[in-house]
Amino acid sequence: MSFHEKYDDKILHEKMLQEKNDKHRKVLKMIDKYSEEGVLLEKRIKKILEDEDDPILARMSQIIVVIDNLSEAISDELDNGILIDPAGIK
């Protein structure tokens, strides 16, 4: 492989990485908005149920945590190059 071919491959790889990162930034904004809406929904559910120990609230809290963890994973990928674990539900 010649110098020019290696250079072209590097440029192509960097362009593809930039496009992926741009898409991930866009998705991150959407997920963060979804997370905010989830918190508001949780508050409304609490008001309706009037019971902090209701299992619906426990499940809702878990959903919010999973969404927030995904947001954090995307941010870590964009900021630090840390790959996102596809099975990373914590």
- Using one digit for the tens of pLDDT, what is the confidence trace for 35-82? 999 999 999 999 999 998 999 999 999 999 999 999 999 999 999 999
* Residue 13 domain flag: yes
Q: Does the pLDDT value for residue 3 go beyond 80?
A: no
In a domain, 89, yes or no: no
**Domain for residue 8, yes or no?**
yes
For residue 90, being part of any structural domain is answered with: no
87 domain residue, yes or no: no
Q: Give the total number of structural domains in the chain.
A: 1
Distance between CA atoms of residues 76 and 64, nearest Å: 18
Instruction: Give a yes or no: residue 47 inside a domain.
Output: yes
Supply the pTM of this predicted model.
0.79
pLDDT of 2 over the 80 cut: no
Burial of 57 (0-12, 13-18, 19+ CB in 10 A): middle
Predicted confidence at residue 13, as pLDDT, reads 84
Domain membership of residue 9 as a residue range: 3-80
pLDDT classification of 87: cutoffs 50, 70, 90: confident
